[in-house]
Amino acid sequence: MENKTNLEFNSIYTVDVVDINTDGDGVCKIEGNVVFVSNALIGENVQIKIIEQKNAFAIGKVHELIKISPDRTEPFCPYFNECGGCSLQHLKYEKQLEFKKNQVANALKKIAKIDFPVSDCVSSTPFYYRNKIAFNISKNGKVALKKRNSHENVEIDNCLITQTWVQDLINILNEYIEVSKIKIYDEHKNTGLLKNIVVRAVDDSLLITFAINGNTLPKTDLLIPLLKSKFEKFGVNININKMKNQIILSNQFQHIYGLQTLKCNDFDIEYEISSGSFMQVNDLIKNKIYKEVLDNIFFSDIVIDAYSGAGLLSAIISNKCKECHGIEIINQATKDAEKLKKLNNISNLFNHNGDCAEILPKLVRQFNNNDLVVVLDPPRKGCERNVIDTLNKLECKKIIYISCNPQTLSRDLSLLTQFYKLKSIQPYDMFPQTQHVETVVILQKK
Ligand SMILES: C[S@@+](CC[C@H](N)C(=O)[O-])C[C@H]1O[C@@H](n2cnc3c(N)ncnc32)[C@H](O)[C@@H]1O
């Protein structure tokens, strides 16, 4: 690989941390080279070791903290230095919220040249918030998560940002893997069976999905009693995933025991979540975001809920507007949304399965733009250009953009603000202890 920095591998430097990047890593400059250092805060003076050379920058590891920031706190997780899951545990929680507000404001300024007041980031419970986790399995056959800056795994026996069921579950999964002698998948050789285990929780019910490079999970007669010894309500599925890529779940699920879905109730809507459909990971923040969306919708509105997932938000919206149309690309998620519609007897909700880039332009033509409110909640890559261009041509009444990526949000807003004016920008801490931030932006026709 071409080496554009002139910093030697394993060399030691003492440096000031001058910034913090979008990954939550400290930024240092050595002889004109940029070095990113995890677990280093602005204002700190640290001794670092160069551990990796990339083309335009190097990666350093803290060797010794010399001057410590008053914003630093003791990371509570024993795996913090290794695990790639959390990058901000060493930053006091109130400072994490400031960091996230600044991330949004800086991205908007830099990418979209938008200088608009960003509200303070809405806080969450800082730990035990995640209702979902996707485990890797180490070569030794232990439950693991991905190591930071690496393709290796770190074996874990707990995850303190995931809800409290996780520790018992990890013990059980480790025992099952050991006694069943299930072969662990090797991505280099494309051999072995067990790839990942994905778990979702609602209240005290769990849905456990084994992603396997095969058709059957061995020794389920060992697994089920182990799970029963700790959990009352659970379901087990396999996901047949023979793809040679990083995608964890294919769309081929097979139910093998217990619950097939998780039953939930939010905003007086009953719904069921299956293993394949999207669900926001932090229930408290999800509800706060949905409340902000609802506050911006009125009874005469026709709402398009683009990127609608399993349809909960569309259903909640439909209770408050004239009619609502959800658009979702994953077949199973649209099926869940249809089930939800029937379960709750909602007559003014219409679920469309397909790509927003194709469906949204056709759908909007049916309505008067002055009645239309469009909710956008795309994945990290943001909205398709065709969706943005359609909205700009249409000039609908209001856009409510929910984003999990300030960079793609800024890219899309740089285009949308030519035809819509910004009303508010509200970050939410959906993912405490990590660098990620969720943002709700309200735009109105100019
Ligand atoms: C961030 S999730 C939002 C889900 C939902 N609004 C919620 O609150 O649960 C994004 C959703 O967009 C879907 N998606 C991704 N690309 C899409 C596309 N081009 N067209 C339609 N849906 C898409 C994903 O499958 C996922 O369910």
Segment 177-189, tens digit of pLDDT: 999 999 999 999 9
Give the list of residues 6+ apart from residue 22 with CB closer than 8 angstroms, or none: 103, 107, 406, 407, 435
197 band by pLDDT with thresholds 50, 70 and 90: very high
- CATH 3.90.226.10: does it fit domain 132-265? no
Q: How many CA atoms lie within 13 A of 91 on its CB side?
A: 25
Residue 273 structure tokens:
């979540």
**Other beta carbons less than 10 A from residue 70's beta carbon:** 9
Residue of 278, 358, 384 best suited for mutating to test ligand 1, as the one with most atoms within 8 Å of CB: 278
The CATH number of domain 98-125+282-445, selected from 3.40.190.10, 3.40.50.2030, 3.40.50.150, 3.30.9.10: 3.40.50.150
User: Which CATH architecture best describes the domain 12-72?
Assistant: Beta Barrel (2.40)
1 band by pLDDT with thresholds 50, 70 and 90: very low
Instruction: Determine whether the shortest distance from the Cβ of 387 to ligand 1 is under 6 A.
Output: no
Report how far ligand 1's centroid is from the alpha carbon of 413 (Å). Answer: 18
The answer to whether 345 and 357 are in contact (CB under 8 A) is: no
Q: Angle CA(251)–CA(405)–CA(265) in degrees, nearest 5? A: 55
The answer to whether 122 and 428 are in contact (CB under 8 A) is: yes
Residue 272 structure tokens:
């069921």
366 band by pLDDT with thresholds 50, 70 and 90: very high
pLDDT value of position 371: 93
Identify the bridge partners of residue 48 per DSSP, sorted by sequence position.
13, 62
pLDDT value of position 145: 97
264 is catalytic: no
Of 292, 298, 308, the residue nearest 341 (C-alpha) = 308
Mean pLDDT of 213-238: 97
Residue of 131, 277, 329, 355 best suited for mutating to test ligand 1, as the one with most atoms within 8 Å of CB: 329
Instruction: Determine whether the shortest distance from the Cβ of 301 to ligand 1 is under 6 A.
Output: no
Mean pLDDT of 352-363: 97
- Are domains 12-72 and 98-125+282-445 of this chain identical in fold? no
Mean confidence (pLDDT) of the chain: 95
Report how far ligand 1's centroid is from the alpha carbon of 382 (Å). Answer: 10
d(CA 180, CA 175): 8
pLDDT at 2 over 70: no
Dump pLDDT digits (tens) for 56-76: 899 999 999 999 999 999 999
Mean pLDDT of 404-419: 98
Instruction: Determine whether the shortest distance from the Cβ of 333 to ligand 1 is under 6 A.
Output: yes
pLDDT value of position 81: 87
Atom 17 of ligand 1, residue of closest alpha carbon: 329
From the number of C-beta atoms within 10 Å of its C-beta (0-12, 13-18, 19+), residue 233 rates as: middle
Secondary structure tally for the chain: helices H, strands E: 9, 22
pLDDT at 192 over 80: yes
Question: Hunting for tokens 């799970």 — which residue is that?
Answer: 227
Instruction: Determine whether the shortest distance from the Cβ of 289 to ligand 1 is under 6 A.
Output: no
Report how far ligand 1's centroid is from the alpha carbon of 329 (Å). Answer: 7
Going from N- to C-terminal start, the domains of the chain cover 12-72, 98-125+282-445, 132-265
Lowest-pLDDT range of 130-144, 276-290, 293-307, 310-324:
276-290
What ligand 1 atom has the least distance to the C-alpha of 313? 8
175 band by pLDDT with thresholds 50, 70 and 90: very high
Provide the strand spans (E) within 115-221. Answer: 132-137, 143-146, 153-155, 194-202, 205-212
d(CA 247, CA 233): 28
pLDDT value of position 332: 83
pLDDT value of position 129: 97
